[in-house]
Homo-oligomer: A and B are copies of this chain.
């Protein structure tokens, strides 16, 4: 008791709601009500509380609040990597959207490894996140089971609904790839190679390959096994993959890449082989990150709705967390961005 009556002297101690209550001459309940604007509080009281808060520099204790509310105001996102800018814009937008509602974003990376992703899901859940954002819609059911067991709302980005019964906010990778391929065909290209990210656990990569393949088939061509090289999303691997494709005889006149990083690698390979882009070879990327215009020639690519996905993910999740009602999926458009790396084979022939 004697201990309780003099804690104010302990100036180094982080102030609690009780300190505020004491200083304002009210109860802790009133402080809480006043701060959270829940329940009516007389204006004078509110003012008193406010000034006590200011004087003490009070901030609600996170643990206490989380415990009492059974809510952490935290959302977790697991992205494959932070090493390139692919997910940065979406994450940034997500963070801003959440922050506007006083919700913090926890970002983890999976390095494109399913086990690592599941580990991270577990970690986020253990930290009591109120919602989760994942990239892509194909993963082991055990991952979804974790989320469902806790009843934590989650949305999947970067993919279209697919057959998946989950909330998806993204775009149709396959359709986008079909569109790209069709445009390349229209330019007169017939020998087309593709460099893809590893499709094994990556629905986006897989869908893009399918799209290219379908478009070719629909036009009486085909994406033969040797026309497709899979590798990790790095400049060096993209370069090596392009080298491989360009060694073939006759070599492709166009290479479609699973993302802009791979495409930049392909550009480097072309240069190493003394090939001129787009004169000897056309290259198209995917994502439209800043890198696409940093290289030369600038990359024709597919612009993906980075920010809109991030914003929508935040909004959907926040609403879901509050009202408990699962939102519908959302599919956004992509846009083909024409740039110098894609050349017109017909024109050239006419040269």
Contact = CB atoms under 8 A, between A and B. Distances in A.
B60 A63 contact: no
Contact of A294 (B67, B68, B151, B291): B291
A128 B84 CA distance: 30
A268 B290 contact: no
A126 interface: yes
Interface stretch (A104-112, A177-185, A219-227, A327-335): A104-112
Contact of A67 (B67, B70, B271): B67
A101 interface: no
A82 interface: yes
A91 interface: yes
Contact of A83 (B106, B149, B151, B290): B290
> How many copies make up the complex?
2
A234 B289 CA distance: 12
A61 B268 contact: no
A127 interface: yes
A133 to B, nearest CB: 14
A83 B267 CA distance: 23
The winner among A63, A85, A106, A295 for most chain B CB atoms within 10 A is A63
Interface in A34-92: 57, 59-68, 70, 72, 74, 82-85, 88-89, 91-92
Nearest to A82: B88
A89 B261 CA distance: 16
B57 A62 contact: no
B72 A95 contact: no
A70 B63 contact: yes
Contacts of A296: 267-268, 271, 295-296
B95 A108 contact: yes
A92 B82 contact: yes
Nearest to A124: B104
A333 B316 CA distance: 46
A14 B234 CA distance: 42
Contacts of A108: 95, 104
Contacts of A128: 61-63
A107 B76 CA distance: 11
Contacts of A248: none
Nearest to A92: B82
Interface in A255-312: 261, 264-265, 267-268, 271, 290-291, 293-296
A125 interface: yes
Contact of A63 (B63, B123, B150, B291): B63
A228 to B, nearest CB: 23
A60 B290 contact: no
A294 B68 CA distance: 51
Contact of A293 (B83, B92, B235): B235
List of 10 A-B pairs having minimum Cβ-Cβ separation, nearest first: A63-B66, A63-B67, A62-B128, A82-B88, A264-B294, A59-B126, A62-B127, A67-B67, A83-B88, A63-B63
